[in-house]
Chain A
């Protein structure tokens, strides 16, 4: 297993604005090699904004984002995926009018090694056998759970060092949520570092190594997942206890 003391991603004091709205107010966090780190918090706390800033869709006004030793703050999204960060966006955002296979091909857009791509596609089909059954189908015809699987498979096709997952449980039935989280653990076990954003704090804390709690653009708590799951504040606010 990877060395969990090596910092893969380090965010320092970033501020992010949506127009005039100050969405992220001086957030700092880090993700070490081989960890699953989760960001939990209510709707509108800034979780997605944080992920979108890491993946380059948004630019931080100030602060730094260091990934694998390089500052990537302000680098364009299509370049960031080449550095080894891949995002599963909120709401899945699959290419509905393209086939399952074409969606996966788009996930491998930055790669040229045809054999490697084929092998990884096979790996994705092993993780998600249902996608193989439906590979020639238009992605828009898939069920919500299958679309989530496709979005995850697509993100894996770029062979990311860091996988950003934005609300993978959103809109799914409890049984499917468990299946998806099991697969996140599998992906992690095969060597991919994971930064997970979730409203389902119970599930997120159950698989994560460490966690951060976000409230209106600020980190209010952080610690190991176990500590946070046991904390009274977190229980009251996010675990329904």
Chain B
């Protein structure tokens, strides 16, 4: 295999990994946009999504699409419940209190899951045979095609919701200026709940896709991707939706290139080096504007 083929192959691997990061990062960034909370429990929501998909496939014997839908809806609902119980009572509390609560929710989800599904990793069933597309020496396998397809569909749906629907516009208004949004008749509690629902649903899909991609899930699987998605969101500019997608893709590609050409040992280091560089050079991220700290 020549160098060019290798690079292209790693790019494909990177984009599929990056799509997963992007899906998780979108939830991070939407939630941050509206209540200025880094929701550290978001990676664990993704883990719960993976398990729901797993049980839908193995216990209920569903095929991949219905399993994805069940996971998406159930996990979206879980996100709303978490917000209602853990974050809503702290709406007027200092931000640090909410942040610490998010860490608490994260542990709660991790260890409650361990209790119910055991800490042992589960083997995610193969939903594809050995489907693969070969272009010359480059291989795109079935799982990667699935990831590209589903991610693309979700991005289109999300863009439509946020840009075109009344609820989506209300979300943008509330995340820009919650108080003024209320003066328009927008119930900010409802919008926040809706945002948690959508963000968690996206994370759930990412969880199921990762299960399919790596064949293995466990109750602590959300920690690292959660942090990586956080890096992706910061890289793109936290609070900015296209930024989260771009940040996720860049991060995925960098990780794939580092694993492929240097050593996979340095993969995580590369991700966090990106975080450090962004914070030093352009803390507002690639798409961030240097504006206003709103009061």
Residue pair A158, B179 in contact (C-beta under 8 Å): no
Q: What string of 1s and 0s marks CB contacts (under 8 Å) between A31-61 and chain B?
A: 0000000000000000000000001110000
Q: What string of 1s and 0s marks CB contacts (under 8 Å) between B163-195 and chain A?
A: 000100110110011011111111110000000
- A96 to B180 alpha-carbon distance, docked (Å): 12
Residue pair A110, B176 in contact (C-beta under 8 Å): no
How near does chain B come to A78, taking the closest CB pair, in angstroms? Answer: 5
Residue pair A89, B183 in contact (C-beta under 8 Å): yes
Residues of the A chain whose Cβ atoms lie less than 8 Å from the Cβ of B179? 57, 77, 89, 93
Interface residues of B in 259-289 (CB under 8 A from A): none
Residue pair B185, A82 in contact (C-beta under 8 Å): yes
- A101 to B184 alpha-carbon distance, docked (Å): 14
- A77 to B181 alpha-carbon distance, docked (Å): 9
Residue pair A110, B183 in contact (C-beta under 8 Å): no
Closest to A93 in B: B180
Query: Given the interface contacts A93-B177, A95-B177, does A86 sit within 8 Å of B169 by beta carbon?
Result: no
Please, how many residues of chain A have a CB less than 8 angstroms from a CB on the other chain? 25
Residue pair B173, A81 in contact (C-beta under 8 Å): no
Closest to B163 in A: A102
- A76 to B178 alpha-carbon distance, docked (Å): 13
Residue pair A109, B172 in contact (C-beta under 8 Å): no
Residue pair A76, B182 in contact (C-beta under 8 Å): yes
List, sorted by A's number, 11 A–B pairs whose CB atoms are closer than 8 Å: A57-B183, A76-B187, A78-B186, A89-B183, A95-B172, A95-B173, A95-B180, A96-B176, A106-B184, A109-B186, A110-B184
- A residues neighboring B (CB under 8 Å): 55-57, 76-79, 81-82, 86-87, 89, 93, 95-98, 102, 105-107, 109-110, 154, 158
- B residues neighboring A (CB under 8 Å): 166, 169-170, 172-173, 176-177, 179-188
Known: A95-B176, A106-B169; 12 extra A-B contacts, CB below 8 A, are A77-B179, A78-B182, A78-B183, A79-B185, A81-B185, A89-B183, A93-B177, A95-B172, A96-B176, A97-B172, A109-B186, A154-B184
